[in-house]
Amino acid sequence: MHFTKDHEWVSVDGDIATVGISKHAAEALGDVVFVEVPEVGKTFAKGDSFAVVESVKAASDVYAPVSGEVVEANDVLSTAPETVNAAPEADGWFAKIKISDASQLDGLMDQAAYDAFLATL
């Protein structure tokens, strides 16, 4: 699993990246009450806002950690946004993106680097 500084995670299987927000992000947000997942077929550039997550405390954009086309969105989140809190790095995934530039993954952190990054916050 790879992580961004904005607390998104990416799990890669072939050329498909599953994307979500990290456990740290879910905890910081508090109870998630609304998630807007992207439409299938939409393309995003790395760093674009591709989803919105809203908790009792705040509404935040979720940024695409890699460029590509959305091939599947986790529609469960629209009716059960609490899934993000229950399993942020598993069932609470946001979308699957067909990666257009695999080299972008090199710029992301692995678990150890991300944990070290969190320790600096």
Determine which residue in the list 5, 34, 86, 110 makes contact with another protein, applying CB under 8 A.
Answer: 34
Residue 59 binds another protein, judged by CB under 8 A? yes
> Contact 60/6 with Cβ under 8 angstroms?
no
Within 13 Å and on the Cβ side, how many CA atoms surround 81?
Answer: 17
Could you tell me how many residues of this chain bind another protein (CB under 8 A)? 12
Going by DSSP bridges, is the β-strand pair 49-55/95-99 parallel, antiparallel, or unpaired? unpaired
Within 13 Å and on the Cβ side, how many CA atoms surround 101?
Answer: 12
Give the nearest distance from C-beta 117 to another protein in angstroms. 16
Residue 57 binds another protein, judged by CB under 8 A? yes
Residue 38 binds another protein, judged by CB under 8 A? no
> Contact 85/32 with Cβ under 8 angstroms?
yes
Please, which residue, 56 or 112, has the CB nearer to another protein?
Answer: 56
Residues that bind another protein (CB under 8 A): 28, 31, 33-34, 54, 56-60, 81-82
